[in-house]
Amino acid sequence: MSTNAATWFYSTPEANVFLITERLNGTFWQARIAGLYWRCTHPQSPFAAEGYWADEVLELKWVPNQWLTLRVPQSLDVDLLVDAVSRRILGITPVLTYGDLLGNIVYEWHVDGGQQRWREIQGMPEFVRPRRLGKRGR
C-alpha cells in the first residue's frame, strides 16, 4: 500500500492502531527513512506514536491538519530526519524547536505557522531555549 501524510496527517485517520502504524511506517520508508520503525500508541487526537531507531526511542504527536511534534533524544543527529519530515513527508518546514526537561530536542510543525504556539511557550521553564526556525513553507 502506497501511503503518505495525506492518510494520517492531512486528514484524520481511522482510530485503529494497526492502520496508523502501517501508514506511518509506509510514509517514512517511502521517504527513504529506513531503520526507523513507528508504533502508534494513541489512536485518537492528539495521535501519538513511538519510533524506534537503533537503541533510541523517538516520539511523534499530532493533531491532523494542525500540528506535529517530533521529540528525539539529544544524542541523535536528527538534521536529516527533520529535513526529510519537512521536505518529503509534510511539505512544510518546522516553525520552532526547544529542549525539554528530560534532555530531548523537540521540533514542531504547524500548518498555521505556529505564532500562537510560540506565544504560549514564552517564559515557561519546561521549554528550554526555544527558537523560531523560519517561516511556514508549504
With beta carbons less than 8 A apart as the criterion, state whether 96 and 134 touch: no
Can you say whether residue 113 is alpha, beta or left, with left for phi > 0 and alpha for psi between -120 and 50 degrees?
Answer: left
With beta carbons less than 8 A apart as the criterion, state whether 4 and 28 touch: no
Q: Which residues pair with 96 in a beta bridge?
A: 108, 132
Instruction: Tell me the percentage of the chain whose pLDDT exceeds 90.
Output: 87
Q: Quick one: pLDDT at residue 13?
A: 95
pLDDT at 137 over 70: no
Q: Average pLDDT of 83-107?
A: 96
Please list the alpha-helical segments (H only) found in 31-133: 79-84, 115-121
Q: What is the pLDDT of residues 41-92, one digit of tens each?
A: 999 999 999 999 989 999 999 999 999 999 999 988 889 999 999 999 999 9
Q: Average pLDDT of 21-27?
A: 97
Q: State the residue for C-alpha cell 517511502.
A: 30
**Domain locations in the chain as residue ranges:** 5-132
Q: Quick one: pLDDT at residue 136?
A: 47
